[in-house]
Chains A and B, each alone.
With several copies, the nearest count.
Chain A
Amino acid sequence: MTDLVAELRLLREEVSSLVKTIPGPVASVSLRVGDCALEIAWERSGTAAAAPRPETRDEPDDLIDDGVRTVVAPLVGTFYVAPEPGAAPFVRPGDRVEAGQAVGIVEAMKLMNQVASEWSGEVVEVAVADGQPVEFEQVLVRVKADQS
């Protein structure tokens, strides 16, 4: 029961955060975690005037999903772009990655944690320089995911 509550809350929290952080009017959200699933559809309306649209014209391009996805740090530590000093980096911008492929390492408590891309596609950016400290969920690498 407690776990269920926690999961539900997480689900809700995640959706709220998500909706808050993505600019522009969202049409629908669908989120599934194990047995839990949440779907929300917003009213699509010519009556869009009724909806509070604070930043409507700020970044119109964001309405179009450009397919760029992020690989984030799973924990706090130091980011390394290569498996060892002097070695070639895991990925460079322009490289192709497959889902599950390592894109970097976060060292924490002297352990090397490989970070894998969840997406298959093209590396657009390695956002953190080698040897820099990273926070939880800090964006490490941007990948333009393949159209599915």
Chain B
Amino acid sequence: MIGKVLIANRGEIALRIARTCREMGIGTVAVYSTADRDSRVVAYADEAVHIGPPHPRRSYLYMPNIIEAALRRGADAVHPGYGFLSEDPDFAEVCAENGLVFIGPRPDVMRRLADKAEVRARMAAAGLPVLPGSEGSVPTLAEAEDVAAAIGYPVVVKAVAGGGGRGIGVAADRAELPEVYRRTSAYARAVFGNGAVYLERYLPVTRHVEVQVLCDQAGNAFHLGERDCSLQRRNQKLVEESPSPGLSEAQRRRLGEYAVAGARAVGYTGAGTMEFLLDPAGDVTFMEMNARIQVEHPVTEMVMGIDLIREQIRVASGLSPSFTQSDIRPHGTAIECRINAEDPRAAFRPTPGRLKVFQPPGGPWTRVDSGFAEGDEVPPYYDSMIAKLIVWAPDRDQAIARADRALAEFAVEGAGMETTIPLLRSLITHPSFARAEHTTRFVDEFLPTALS
């Protein structure tokens, strides 16, 4: 069993991981950049190591200092959280080479998952529905034009190395394709260091539904229900919920089966997420697999009563999960709202600074995961999420009412600071959301009205 974990992350997820470690009797080593010197997790963890200056490239992404910190402090495992090094196969490999358990899938599996075109092919072979598209990557425009003609416009051009909504372009017709192809490929080369792209048919009005999976080292794969993340702004999720409203039991079961089949097809171990698109006809298509714990994992935790970080650690230790598939039955509805220090009226510009007032809500079924407390400084170097609010209720209407109540209680103030709280309140109380009619385009369509 793992005895001491180095947490290679910051903010709420670092504290989230430290809390579960503490509950499991596992020691913790926090690492921090100069900007996070006074952060909660640094005070909370058993030990903390200063690993570099504020810029992530020289701290949270700088492997040598993280590995050295783990070795010097006697950690036997590394939890990467989400973002930063969490999906970097090289990091997983370096951990292994240094005798450290990487809490995540094996490096070769991560490498496989990093190639979106290959994953698509494997999932199709495993029987998962994928959108009509190219077989693997499309190295030339001429080839792209042939594929697009075959699958029909509009088409999506996607970076092979992309993910999370980055490196995507849509061509409405043949005339647009050359420019979209060129732009996406150039972006992918610049951002991911790999310009390869592939093509898929474009699905215009959709819901984003993802399935949580957990696979142990003995080859057992479990699905833990789905999350609906359709409230997005430019592929940035704002609100997530579980279960996905409006799915039939048959759809839900089929999604779970697809997720397990897909995870097995790539030899997955640990906690992961299978992302799907749900079209208005109720058909699902596989989108991508994320090889990490996700920001929105708490909504699954609340409806399932399962601590996913604990299960990650168990599985990484070679144990089986603490449940069997038949134990997994969702209860009620959970909703998560991401509270960012951003100004929605100024194109969501981050508003870092000191949290003069920071009073999270309390009371029944009101969970707050945050890396900050009153008086803390939100540094300008990292993402602007300052808290996640997660509520649970027996049904979706009550969960929405509870989320709105809790958001109204959440007091955040600071010089020049704005948050997404008012926007979140107007989104979740909108009739389209109440009726669960919203698609992934809802926020972008609703924003101009909401902010005026």
B is a partner of A: yes
Hey, which bits of chain A sit against chain B, CB under 8 A? 6, 9-10, 13, 17, 20, 75-78, 108-109, 133, 135-138
Contact of B51 (CB < 8 Å), options: A6, A13, A78, A136: A136
Q: In the complex, what distance in Å separates the CA atom of A78 from the CA atom of B65? A: 11
Cβ contacts under 8 Å, B16 to chain A: none
B65: min CB distance to chain A, Å: 4
Contact of A75 (CB < 8 Å), options: B55, B68, B415: B68
CB of B49 closer than 8 Å to a CB of A: yes
B105: min CB distance to chain A, Å: 23
Is A109 in contact with B64, judged by CB distance below 8 angstroms? Answer: yes
CB of B35 closer than 8 Å to a CB of A: yes
Q: In the complex, what distance in Å separates the CA atom of A109 from the CA atom of B90? A: 14
Contact flag A108-B51 (CB < 8 Å), given A13-B35, A20-B415 = no
Contact of B67 (CB < 8 Å), options: A13, A109, A137, A138: A109
Is A76 in contact with B51, judged by CB distance below 8 angstroms? Answer: yes
- 18 pairs from A and B in contact (CB 8 Å cutoff): A6-B55, A13-B34, A13-B35, A75-B65, A76-B50, A76-B51, A76-B65, A76-B72, A78-B68, A78-B72, A109-B67, A109-B68, A133-B68, A135-B50, A136-B49, A136-B51, A136-B53, A137-B50
Is B54 in contact with A10, judged by CB distance below 8 angstroms? Answer: yes
Cβ contacts under 8 Å, B122 to chain A: none
Residue of B nearest to A133 (CB): B72
Is A76 in contact with B54, judged by CB distance below 8 angstroms? Answer: no
Contact flag A9-B381 (CB < 8 Å), given A75-B68, A133-B73 = yes
Q: In the complex, what distance in Å separates the CA atom of A90 from the CA atom of B134? A: 62
Residue of A nearest to B63 (CB): A109
Q: In the complex, what distance in Å separates the CA atom of A10 from the CA atom of B33? A: 13
Is B72 in contact with A10, judged by CB distance below 8 angstroms? Answer: no
Is B55 in contact with A76, judged by CB distance below 8 angstroms? Answer: no
Is A108 in contact with B64, judged by CB distance below 8 angstroms? Answer: yes
Is B68 in contact with A76, judged by CB distance below 8 angstroms? Answer: yes
Q: Which of B34-61 contact A (CB under 8 A)?
A: 34-35, 49-55, 59
Cβ contacts under 8 Å, B72 to chain A: 76-78, 133
A110: min CB distance to chain B, Å: 10
Residue of B nearest to A109 (CB): B64
The 6 closest A-B pairs by CB, nearest first: A133-B72, A76-B65, A135-B50, A76-B68, A109-B64, A136-B50
A136: min CB distance to chain B, Å: 5
Q: In the complex, what distance in Å separates the CA atom of A108 from the CA atom of B59? A: 14
Q: In the complex, what distance in Å separates the CA atom of A108 from the CA atom of B52? A: 14
CB of B239 closer than 8 Å to a CB of A: no
CB of B171 closer than 8 Å to a CB of A: no
B395: min CB distance to chain A, Å: 38
Q: In the complex, what distance in Å separates the CA atom of A137 from the CA atom of B33? A: 11
CB of B380 closer than 8 Å to a CB of A: yes
Q: Which of A109, A135, A136 has the most CB of B within 10 A?
A: A136
Q: In the complex, what distance in Å separates the CA atom of A13 from the CA atom of B379? A: 10
A6: min CB distance to chain B, Å: 7
Is A77 in contact with B68, judged by CB distance below 8 angstroms? Answer: yes
Residue of A nearest to B73 (CB): A133
B418: min CB distance to chain A, Å: 15
Is A108 in contact with B68, judged by CB distance below 8 angstroms? Answer: yes
Cβ contacts under 8 Å, B51 to chain A: 76, 135-136
Cβ contacts under 8 Å, B53 to chain A: 10, 136
Q: Which of B253-312 contact A (CB under 8 A)?
A: none
Q: Which of B221-260 contact A (CB under 8 A)?
A: none
Q: In the complex, what distance in Å separates the CA atom of A137 from the CA atom of B358? A: 31
Q: In the complex, what distance in Å separates the CA atom of A75 from the CA atom of B50? A: 9
Over the window 395-427 of chain B, the binary record of Cβ atoms lying under 8 Å from chain A Cβ atoms (1 yes, 0 no) is: 000000000000000000001000000000000
Cβ contacts under 8 Å, A108 to chain B: 64-65, 68
Is A137 in contact with B69, judged by CB distance below 8 angstroms? Answer: no
Q: In the complex, what distance in Å separates the CA atom of A92 from the CA atom of B35? A: 33
Contact of B52 (CB < 8 Å), options: A9, A13, A17, A136: A136
Residue of B nearest to A12 (CB): B380
A68: min CB distance to chain B, Å: 21
B132: min CB distance to chain A, Å: 38
Cβ contacts under 8 Å, B55 to chain A: 6, 10
Cβ contacts under 8 Å, B67 to chain A: 109
Is A13 in contact with B415, judged by CB distance below 8 angstroms? Answer: no
Is A17 in contact with B64, judged by CB distance below 8 angstroms? Answer: no
Beyond A76-B64, A135-B50, A136-B53, 8 additional contacts (C-beta under 8 Å) are A9-B381, A10-B53, A20-B415, A109-B67, A136-B49, A136-B50, A136-B59, A136-B65
Residue of B nearest to A78 (CB): B72
Is B50 in contact with A138, judged by CB distance below 8 angstroms? Answer: yes
Over the window 20-33 of chain B, the binary record of Cβ atoms lying under 8 Å from chain A Cβ atoms (1 yes, 0 no) is: 00000000000000
